[in-house]
Structure 1
Amino acid sequence: MGKEQTLPLHAALGCIFLLVFSTLFPSPSSAAALTHAEARFLMRRQLRALSENGDDLPDDYETKINVPFKFPNSRLRKAYIALQAWKKVFYSDPSNFTGNWVGPNVCDYEALDDPNVTVVSGVDLNHQDIAGYLPVELGLLSDIALFHVNSNRFCGIIPKSFSKLTLLYELDLSNNRFVGAFPKVVIEMKALKYLDIRFNDFEGALPPELFNRAFDALILNNNKFESTIPDTIGNAKASLLVLANNKFSGCIPHTIGNTAGTLDEIMFKGNELGGCIPPEMGLLQNVTVLDVSKNSLVGPIPKFFSNYSKVEALDISGNKFTGFVPEEICKLPTLNSFDFSNNYFKGESKVCNPEARKDVEFDDRKNCLPSRPNQRSSKECFPMLSSSVDCEKARCGQSSEGHKHDNKHKHKPPSKDKDDNKQSPVKPTLSPPKAPTTPSSQPVKPSSPPPKPPTLPPPTQSPPPLPPSPMYPPPPPPPPVPSPPPPVFSPPPPVQSPPPKTPSPSASPPSINLPPNLGFQYSSPPPPVFPGY
């Protein structure tokens, strides 16, 4: 490529090393927030473009585009067209990050499948506070292995043309303002292993086929997903599964036991799940983080919890559990924190007392424990303690007496307290590409207010982090964008995506050898350190 028009290497259009640039020179946190009117304007712009051109790309699309430059190969030409089309639909670029996106020298980087060809192999615009949408032309970036746009203000939907990104290994769209149903196009990306779409406005039900894909990490928290959790969750191969802070209802599927051996961290926190914890969860012997807090789960604490010999963080707070908290759980060898507050336990082992051990953080507040401070009143405790739930007989959504629970109207899950905007004690940890190891930090314990005294038998429902067995770092500053879900403008996710692996040769993705630094030197934005995850 000619030197007279060569761009600085660190500023090359969408090159994989953009993460280094965005990490060293982050955009100011004081950037103006995107208003609801502006977000709607951007979405309308995208929808108009999609209605005119379709949401996919014909195979020969790039040949019809006139480009005033010559390129060493057609793949760089396609990348140039894609990135220029993207820059054209940016509504705001506060730090002028794309100011030098000019000229033909898109990138000087080896192709993943041919060391003699230069291509754009990755896009990372994390934390640049850029507002805009994703045009269909991005489907021309068929050589990229990672696409990271964490913590920006992108709106609209994910175009179907993303299915052409056949080498894409990591997709991080977290902390933006994407909308619509779950983007099914990601299921068509055969090489995709790491998916993070947390903190957006996706809604509706999860497609059952999502869990049939061999993802290493699925991070879907803080959206507006609802309905029940598909039974196909038992087919999941992910080590990290985060469904927290959505609107899932019903029971935790019994098929969850089929994930034994692969699932290490699971978060169901902050949903509308009910019923008893299924006995099949006892098969998850490798679990290090389990968070089912702030749901409407009922029954006694499962005995199989005492078999979780590797668990580090266990949070069952904010449910309707009753009975006794046994010694075996509180003496688990790797336990760092156990939160069983805001339930209706009437007894606890002495070793579960918060003053009993200094090496483990226990929280027993807002229960029905005699001689313990900060407990519920007898008026709150009596209705729950006078009725019993037999988890061996009760069906999902029913108590042992056969009273059907209406999760939406009769028994609402405990109200989410203000502490939900703080860091949760249970945090998931991803193996990010940045470093092969994941840091750990002490959990910060939020206190949750007691749920309103129920007037009917206990409901039946339940949920779960990084962040994380390893816990997340301190919570980030207040969100720059006051939009739903609170657009938390947080630091790069505390945990990062797993290092890209060599996709197995198949009909879809060609056999490739990833550069040794991909995923370590240029890691995916660990999902933003969000309140609660």
Structure 2
Amino acid sequence: MQMIIFIFKLIVLVTFLVDRSVGGITSILDDPLKAIEDELDGLTFIDQRLAIVYPLIKNFKNTITSDPLNITGSWVGSDICSYKGFYCDNPPNNLTATTLASIDFNGFQLTAPSLDGFLDQLPDLALFHANSNFFSGTISSNIAKLPYLYEFDISNNLFTGPFPNSILAMNSLSFLDMRFNLFAGSIPPQLFTKDLDILFINNNNFIQKLAEILGNSHILYLTLANNKFFGSIPHSIAKYLSGTSEVLLLNNMLSGCLPYELGLLKDTVVFDAGNNLLTGPIPYSMGCLKKAEVINFAGNMLYGVVPEVVCAMGNLANLSLSDNYFIQAGPICRGLIKKGVLDVTKNCIPGLPGQRSMVECVAFFAKPRYCSYMHAYHYLPCWLPGFSDSLTELAPAPF
């Protein structure tokens, strides 16, 4: 199907060029450029920087094969700053000049076979947002030459190929959104050492061991969901993501037991590792996540007691533990069930509705279950009134 679409796009582009030609192969190739040159002769720009990008925009416009909202209908004349999706400002190196500073194509539904020769040639661009279009191809290595680009959003498109390593050389980048594309392969670990605030790479085809990519980072919002990351959640996660507010790992292939160090993610508000292959009990240390509002471990193979200390977290608005194998929930947790905060359906908890059948539960526990460092699961790395006396002892990470 992709090959058919590609051939169709190619036919449309060639037909467009032939219609404008005056004869011969040479005219097919030269006519669009000559037309742009003729236009430039009759146009006046408020700044030479805009005159430089004008041919780039026109060339890109000629590659667009579908524009259902007639966005490009406004891309006419010398007033580039009034084009839909284009925004002008003063460049950092000349506050009296006017240049094309940002592009916002979000939701335009434009179709083009590539951004090469356009995006990577805009010298003063600081922001590029192109969510929900039909752009395809790969990302040019020349994008690393854009010195001011700090927000790069190409989410919900049709880009393919491996992770574009040129992004690693973008020193100003703080926002990277590559969600909902067709990127595949592995992610260079250097990505996590960049000074990124936001990293969204969910809904691609990345496949890699999670422990191989996490590194010391400043990321506030991290979304790795809906890929094929595998392996256990590393004990070093608290070191690498100590300041991260949202961690989304759902719908991957993560396995192994939950590390005690999850309770050291002191700034985490949302932690979602639903629909993986995780097993073992929930560490009591997670009761120390004082900022946590949403925790999701639904759709795994966790078991044991739902820790009361976790249910007692003051800011908790949603605790999803459905579709696991927990066997007990105490009074505090049952209070959250009544409030609709805690979901423990499809577990093995006697006396609660919507649980697994006895056959399912017996079959699960018939196989030996074991996690390393089991003695660590009842340790608390913080002081919590009413709980410290009932637990083994207060302690830092016991390793």
What TM-score bracket applies, with the shorter chain setting the length?
Answer: 0.7 to 0.9
Q: Is 2:371 aligned against 1:391?
A: yes
Whole-angstrom distance in 2 between the partners of 1:44 and 1:369: 60
Equivalents in 1 of 2:364, 2:204: separation in Å?
32
Which of 51, 55, 70 lines up with 1:77 in the alignment?
51
- SS of aligned partner of 1:218: strand
Which structure 2 residues correspond to residues 465-480 of structure 1 after superposition, within 5 A? none
RMSD after superposition: 2.4
Judging by fraction of residues, say which structure has more helix.
Answer: 2
Alpha-carbon distance in structure 1 between the residues aligned to 2:238 and 2:358 = 37
Q: 1:137 offset after TM fit, Å?
A: 3.1
Aligned counterparts, 1:132-147, within 5 A:
132=112, 133-147=114-128
Question: Map of 1:57-76 to 2, 5 A cutoff?
Answer: 66=37, 67-68=40-41, 69=43, 71-76=45-50
Write out aligned runs for 1:108-507 (5 A): 109-132=89-112, 133-353=114-334, 356-358=337-339, 361-392=341-372
* 1:275 aligned counterpart, secondary structure: strand
> What is the CA-CA distance between 1:226 and the residue it aligns to?
0.7
* Aligned length in residues: 342
Please state how far the C-alpha of 1:127 moved relative to its aligned partner.
0.5
Q: Distance in 1 between matches of 2:61 and 2:348?
A: 59
- Aligned partners of 1:315, 1:261: CA distance in 2, in Å? 19
In structure 1, distance between residues paired with 2:62 and 2:268: 46
Identify the residue that residue 94 of structure 1 maps to in structure 2.
Answer: 68
Tell me, in whole angstroms, the C-alpha distance in 1 between the residues paired with 2:337 and 2:68. Answer: 52
Paired with 1:90 and 1:228, the residues of 2 have a C-alpha distance of 38
TM-superposed CA distance for 1:304, in Å, is: 1.0
> Residue 89 of structure 2: SS of its match in structure 1?
coil
Indicate the percent of aligned positions where both proteins have the same amino acid: 37
Q: Which secondary structure state, in structure 1, belongs to the residue aligned with residue 371 of structure 2?
A: coil
Give the Cα–Cα distance (whole angstroms) in 1 for the partners of residues 309 and 53 of structure 2: 58
CA contact (8 A) 1:232 1:255 kept: no
- Kept in 2, the 8 Å contact 1:123–1:146? The answer is yes
Question: What's 2:2 paired with?
Answer: 36
Change (3 A) 1:246 1:208: same
Deviations 1:173-232 (A, max 9, x none): 111111111122221111010011111111111111111111001011111111212534
Q: Tell me the alpha carbon deviations over residues 35-76 of structure 1, each in whole angstroms, 9 at most, x when there is no partner.
A: 63454348989xxxxxxxxxxxxxxxx9xx955355454422
Contact 1:260 1:285 in 2 (8 A): no
| Alpha-carbon contact 1:237-1:262 (below 8 Å) kept | yes
Seen in structure 2, the aligned counterparts of structure 1 residues 347 and 224 have a Cα distance that, compared at 3 Å, is same
Q: Deviations along 1:238-273, whole A, 9 cap, x unmatched?
A: 011000011111112332121354111101100001
In structure 1, what is the Cα distance between the partners aligned to 2:55 and 2:144?
18
Distance 1:230 1:74, change over 3 A: farther
Gaps of 5+ in 2: 12-32, 82-87, 375-399
